[in-house]
């Protein structure tokens, strides 16, 4: 087998280093000062702004637009970060096209919303470049809170608790903090190691300790944390991945899309990262789009997203679907995997056409085969390792109010908790709100 080859057709070095560098530049380059001023001037500064209602973190968008227009980008950044401490990453990855920008009056009137996401990036980057942390830590309360997981919800919760004077210990299983911001976001959306830079900046508030390699159920238990800390916040994400129920799912070349995305994010040299010649991604959400586009950017010749329902049912927004198409990704809908064929390694995938009646999906019996030396499974994630005895809602942790679980002294938020969308911005809101509830409980 040739050097760099791990399965038939999956090789590294399909593109040169220069081509890869060009492919993985910023998807949306940052605005210059004059561009930001012009873009902010398009805002109507609505009194009862629908964009604010559409933002899960309730950022005062008209206010930060006025601050940018007045030449005060750092003040605008502080307005954003007061509500969303990870506003820099959210500006890069948040599906603004289906949230604040979709609700923008300019979108309704003209079909061209104010570029809220890019303006948020301009403002928050201004704060981070300035260097000084804009928030001060209150006097110590003498109370300590354990946060399990250093993803968006955990970091947002930890920062707000630290700002309120509590000491926080974050237990994180992976080698680096950041959660999906570090391991699961498309590399072309978050460049220049921004996720770690944002974590480092957030930690400037003080009062937060991160212990990596610390996994719930492996050396630490929830009962032990409840006994040793004044409160516990669970932000353990969704570590499990749904299985592909198709013949040949165990062949070489078939893998989880989240692992592929993580490998791209953590690669020190993309030229050494293998990718197939013919890649098929199973799924219809953001993970599927990110994996498909990354495959193309790494040099895959043919990339197909195969989704079992119609386009309108895809979890990825139409903007993300169009982004995939613009990179040469083919989107096939109403098809489901039947089998992956190959002699030890994937060579083809067999898909069956589907139809839907009264919401019930069924196969039609008509099949099609596509060349596929690499199959990436993006068919959803599940909660893995929920503490024993904790009430679940479906396959997530049941919560009431601002993240209170069925166990006294334990809160939860982010993807592991029931009720919210699996978005970075939603996780931040849940972490922030849980922190306020924890603070109220500890100081009552």
Give the residue among 55, 187, 183 at the shortest CA–CA distance from 119. Answer: 55
Last residue of a domain, one of 82, 103, 130: 130
Q: Where are the alpha helices (DSSP H) in 26-85?
A: 33-40, 50-54, 61-69, 73-83
The answer to whether residue 70 is domain-embedded is yes
**pLDDT value, residue 8:** 62
**pLDDT value, residue 438:** 98
Q: Identify whether residues 185 and 303 lie together within a single domain.
A: no
pLDDT, one tens digit per residue, over 235-284 is 999 988 888 889 999 999 999 999 999 999 999 899 999 999 999 999 99
The answer to whether residue 28 is domain-embedded is no
Q: Identify whether residues 88 and 49 lie together within a single domain.
A: yes
Could you tell me the residue range of the domain that residue 219 belongs to?
144-239+383-443
Last residue of a domain, one of 377, 406, 429: 377
Cα–Cα distance measured from residue 421 to residue 317, given in angstroms and rounded to the nearest whole number: 13
Q: Identify whether residues 263 and 368 lie together within a single domain.
A: yes
Q: Identify whether residues 51 and 78 lie together within a single domain.
A: yes
Q: Identify whether residues 154 and 234 lie together within a single domain.
A: yes
Q: Identify whether residues 329 and 221 lie together within a single domain.
A: no
The CATH number assigned to the domain holding 91 equals 1.10.1060.10
Give the residue among 199, 194, 195 at the shortest CA–CA distance from 181. Answer: 195
The answer to whether residue 205 is domain-embedded is yes
Crossing angle, helix 152-163 and helix 424-443, to 10 degrees?
40
Cα–Cα distance measured from residue 355 to residue 362, given in angstroms and rounded to the nearest whole number: 6
Give the residue among 144, 348, 332, 138 at the shortest CA–CA distance from 233. Answer: 144
Q: Identify whether residues 112 and 74 lie together within a single domain.
A: yes
Phi and psi torsions of 153, nearest 5°: -65, -45
Give the residue carrying structure tokens 């081509």. Answer: 19
The answer to whether residue 97 is domain-embedded is yes
Contact status, residue 177 vs residue 199, Cβ threshold 8 Å: yes
The answer to whether residue 23 is domain-embedded is no
**pLDDT value, residue 23:** 93
Q: Identify whether residues 82 and 197 lie together within a single domain.
A: no
Q: Identify whether residues 332 and 249 lie together within a single domain.
A: yes
Q: Identify whether residues 262 and 316 lie together within a single domain.
A: yes
Last residue of a domain, one of 108, 130, 152: 130
Contact status, residue 225 vs residue 232, Cβ threshold 8 Å: yes
The CATH number assigned to the domain holding 288 equals 3.50.50.60
Residues of the chain with pLDDT under 70: 1-8
Number of domains in the chain: 3
Cα–Cα distance measured from residue 391 to residue 405, given in angstroms and rounded to the nearest whole number: 7
What residues contact residue 391 under an 8 Å CB cut-off, 6+ apart? 397, 398, 405, 406
The answer to whether residue 108 is domain-embedded is yes
Phi and psi torsions of 18, nearest 5°: -65, -40
Contact status, residue 56 vs residue 40, Cβ threshold 8 Å: no
Q: Identify whether residues 392 and 366 lie together within a single domain.
A: no
Q: Read off the tokens for 404.
A: 């209170």
**pLDDT value, residue 4:** 43
**pLDDT value, residue 420:** 81
The answer to whether residue 1 is domain-embedded is no
Cα–Cα distance measured from residue 58 to residue 417, given in angstroms and rounded to the nearest whole number: 20
Q: Identify whether residues 331 and 250 lie together within a single domain.
A: yes
The answer to whether residue 402 is domain-embedded is yes
What pTM was computed for the model? 0.93
């Amino acid at each position: 087998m040739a050097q760099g080859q791990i399965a038939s057709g999956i090789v590294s070095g399909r593109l040169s280093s220069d081509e890869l560098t060009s492919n993985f530049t910023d998807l949306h380059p940052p605005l210059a000062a004059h561009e930001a001023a012009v873009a902010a001037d398009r805002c109507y500064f609505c009194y009862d702004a629908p964009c604010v209602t559409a933002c899960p973190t309730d950022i005062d968008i008209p206010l930060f637009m006025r601050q940018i227009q007045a030449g005060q980008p750092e003040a605008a950044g502080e307005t954003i970060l007061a509500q969303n401490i990870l506003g820099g990453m959210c500006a890069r990855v948040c599906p603004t096209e289906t949230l604040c920008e979709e609700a923008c009056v300019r979108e309704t009137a003209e079909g061209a919303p104010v570029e809220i996401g890019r303006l948020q990036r301009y403002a928050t980057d201004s704060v981070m470049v300035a260097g000084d942390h804009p928030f001060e830590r209150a006097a110590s309360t003498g109370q300590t809170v354990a946060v399990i997981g250093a993803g968006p919800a955990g970091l947002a919760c930890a920062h707000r608790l630290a700002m309120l004077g509590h000491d926080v210990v974050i237990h994180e299983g992976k080698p680096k903090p950041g959660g999906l911001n570090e391991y699961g976001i498309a590399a072309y959306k978050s460049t220049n190691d921004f996720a770690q830079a944002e974590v480092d900046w957030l930690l400037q508030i003080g009062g937060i300790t991160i212990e990596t390699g610390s996994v719930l159920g492996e050396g630490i238990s929830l009962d032990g944390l409840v006994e040793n800390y004044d409160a516990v916040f669970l932000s353990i994400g969704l570590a499990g991945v749904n299985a592909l129920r198709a013949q040949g799912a165990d062949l070489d070349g078939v893998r989880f899309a989240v692992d592929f995305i993580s490998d791209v994010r953590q690669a020190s040299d993309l030229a050494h990262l293998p990718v197939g010649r013919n890649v098929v991604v199973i799924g219809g959400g953001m993970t599927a789009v990110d994996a498909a586009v990354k495959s193309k950017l790494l040099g895959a010749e043919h990339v197909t997203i195969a989704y079992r329902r119609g386009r309108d049912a895809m979890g990825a927004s139409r903007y993300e679907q169009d982004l995939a198409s613009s990179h040469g990704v083919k989107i096939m809908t109403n098809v489901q995997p039947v089998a992956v064929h190959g002699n030890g390694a994937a060579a083809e995938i067999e898909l069956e056409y589907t139809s839907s009646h009264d919401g019930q999906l069924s196969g039609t019996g008509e099949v099609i085969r596509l060349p596929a030396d690499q199959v990436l499974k993006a068919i959803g994630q599940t909660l893995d390792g929920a503490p024993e005895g904790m009430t679940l809602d479906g396959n997530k942790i049941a919560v009431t109010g601002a993240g209170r679980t069925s166990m006294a002294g334990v809160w939860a938020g982010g993807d592991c908790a029931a009720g919210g969308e699996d978005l970075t911005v939603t996780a931040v809101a849940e972490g922030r709100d849980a922190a306020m509830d924890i603070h109220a409980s500890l100081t009552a």
